[in-house]
Amino acid sequence: MSLDFDGARMSALTEVGFFDGRVNLRHNVVVRIADCLNILEDDVPLARWPVGEVRLLPSAHGMARYGLADPNNLARLEVTDEMLMAAIRRSCPNLGRGDGAVTSRRTTCRIIGWSLAAAASVVGLVIFGLPLAANLLAPHIPQALQYDIGEASAKQLKLVYHAKTCRDPQGQAVLDKLVAKLATAGGLEQPLRPRIIETSIANAMALPGGRVYVFSKLLDEAQTPDELGGVIAHELGHEAHHDSMRRLIESGGTGLLLGMVFGDFTGSAGLVFAANTLINASYSRQAEKRADDYAIKVMTRLGRSPKPFGDLLQRLVRGHDIPQAMSLLADHPTTRSRLAAIAAHDVPDTGPPLLSPPQWVVLRSICKT
């Protein structure tokens, strides 16, 4: 192991850690500084960071953590050697600029205000165990932290499914309108960021920070706005019940919970863990039932029958082997009883259609432009 900066080769005083932001794996690296920070592992370049883009991020005492200004890039460099820190300080003129670090710093501030609820949850954890602590804590996790986790998860989701976001502005406007209508009917006040992503499997997913993802194959399978609306309302149910954060706390165990309360969870390892957990998460039967009930409530309030939502689920079950990733139907054995419960709420439509026929056409072609 050697450090090599400012052109001078030096013996290693300590290790330099690099996380690529995609896989939760620490690389022991060498850093060479020129117009870029060249990050190498065994002489293989892992990353080249332009010096103007490097930002200093919050970190534990005795260590400096660096990232890039681009908030979508979660790669992190962790340095404990003071000479290397000094060299980076000399070479990178924008280290202290707020953009790259701002989210994390905001998170840190919010965590202070949040610590009372968190401390209560840790007491709950000791006395009652993890599921109860997750229930107590999930609604109180600061928005900024949820935003960071949602952002990391969304990035991972697109990476895993090789998916790109469909960006036709007219289609997006229709989607925004549809989601706003459903959220208002459900009494959901937090800001939402719905997106359609292009994938070959049919699914939908709610991630922290109000991110609602509908996979394009599901949009293709939906025959009416009511069918799609029911699925989105189900995902809004997960959002309203904080299911993704609850799931994250439950899977991460006490270590993650304590890390979120007392540690620096916004470090890249924590975010990568969160992202991987959330996009592979399947919810409990109880959580799915609650989300279905929420969808039934939303559709009924809008004067629309929830039955088309059940019809769409039924077609998906009948027509396909259900892939494991398909969280919408993850509790396969109980799907039949879920469908029966939805169908039991069938009522004649009394409200206006969720979308006009031209809006539906525009939305359905969101990935085709």
For residues 299 and 353, is the Cβ–Cβ distance under 8 A?
no
Cβ at position 327, least distance to Zn ion in Å: 6
**Separation between Cα atoms, residue 185 and residue 161, nearest integer Å:** 31
Min separation Cβ 28 and Zn ion, Å: 41
Of 58-66, 73-81, 269-277, 282-290, which segment contacts Zn ion by CB under 5 A?
282-290
Question: Which among 124, 154, 129, 138 has a CA at the least distance from the CA of 245?
Answer: 138
Contact region with Zn ion (CB under 5 A), list: 139-147, 283-291, 296-304, 355-363 = 283-291
Q: Minimal distance in Å, beta carbon 355 to Zn ion?
A: 22
* Rounded-to-integer distance, Cα 86 and Cα 215, Å: 47
Which structure tokens are listed for 303? 């004067």
Contact 267, 76 (CB under 8 A): yes
Q: Provide CB contacts within 8 A for 17, sequence distance 6+.
A: 26, 27, 28, 29, 77, 78, 79
Q: Tell me the sheet residues that pair with 50.
A: 36
CA–CA separation, 347 vs 306, rounded Å?
8
Return the number of the residue (264 or 288) whose C-beta is nearest Zn ion: 288
The set of residues, in sequence order, having a beta carbon less than 8 Å from that of 232 and lying 6+ positions away, is 178, 179, 182, 194, 204, 212, 214
Q: Toward Zn ion, which CB reaches closer, 184 or 286?
A: 286
CB-nearer residue toward Zn ion: 20 or 288: 288
Segment interacting with Zn ion, rule: CB under 5 A, options 179-187, 213-221, 290-298, 317-325: 290-298
Q: Which is nearer to Zn ion, 236 or 291 (CB)?
A: 291
Minimal distance, residue 241 CB to Zn ion, in Å: 10
Which range, of 56-64, 99-107, 288-296, 307-315, touches Zn ion by CB under 5 A?
288-296
Part in contact with Zn ion (CB under 5 A); list of ranges 186-194, 197-205, 250-258, 286-294: 286-294
Distance between CA atoms of 48 and 84, rounded to whole angstroms? Answer: 16
Name which of 198 and 288 has its Cβ closer to Zn ion: 288
CB of 217 to Zn ion, least distance (A): 17
* Contact range with Zn ion by CB under 5 A, out of 54-62, 152-160, 257-265, 289-297: 289-297
Query: Binding residue for Zn ion (CB under 5 A) from 202, 291, 298, 329?
Result: 291
Q: What DSSP assignment string belongs to 169-214?
A: HHHHHHHHHHHHHHHHHHT--S--EEEEEE-SS--EEEETTTEEEE
Q: Which is nearer to Zn ion, 272 or 326 (CB)?
A: 326
Site string for Zn ion, 240-279 (x = CB under 5 A): ----------------------------------------
Residue located via tokens 């979308």: 355
- Using CB under 5 A as the binding rule, whether residue 362 contacts Zn ion is answered as no
For the CB of residue 135, give the shortest distance to Zn ion in the complex, in Å.
18
Shortest Å, Cβ 238 to Zn ion = 6
Find the helix or strand (DSSP H, E) in which 3 lies: strand 2-5
Which among 225, 204, 221, 201 has a CA at the least distance from the CA of 213? 204
Give the residue with the Cβ less far from Zn ion, 288 or 311.
288
- Nearest approach, Cβ of residue 201 and Zn ion (Å): 15
Least separation in angstroms between residue 298's CB and Zn ion is 14
Name the residues that contact Zn ion, by CB under 5 A: 288, 291
